[in-house]
Amino acid sequence: MEVKFKEERDKLVRHLKKIGYIKSERVEDAMLNVQRHLFVPFDEIKYAYEDRPLPIGAGQTISAPHMVAIMTEYLKLKKGDKVLEIGAGSGYQAAIISRIVGEGGKVISIERIEGLADFARENLKRAGIKDVEVMRGDGSLGFEPEAPYDKICVTCAAPDIPEPLVGQLRVGGRMVIPVGRHAQELYLLDKGEDQIVKRKVGGVIFVPLIGRYGF
Residues annotated catalytic, as ranges: 63
Q: How far is CA 93 from CA 183, 193, 194, in A?
A: 23, 29, 31
Nearest distance in Å: CB 195, ligand SAM: 27
Residue in 38, 83, 100, 156 binding ligand SAM, rule: CB under 6 A: 156
Contacts of 2 (CB under 8 A, 6+ apart): 35
Q: Quick one: which of 169, 178, 13 has its CA closest to 87? A: 178
Tell me: does residue 62 bind ligand SAM (CB under 6 A).
Answer: yes
How far apart CA 40 and CA 20 sit, in angstroms, is: 25
Residue in 13, 86, 134, 179 binding ligand SAM, rule: CB under 6 A: 86
Residue in 34, 69, 83, 209 binding ligand SAM, rule: CB under 6 A: 209
Are 98 and 72 a contacting pair, CB within 8 Å? no
3-class secondary-structure state, position 119: helix
Decide whether 28 or 171 has the Cβ nearer to ligand SAM.
Answer: 28
Tell me: does residue 65 bind ligand SAM (CB under 6 A).
Answer: no
Residues found near ligand SAM in the complex (CB under 6 A): 60-63, 86-87, 89-90, 92-93, 110-113, 116, 138-140, 155-156, 206-207, 209-211, 214
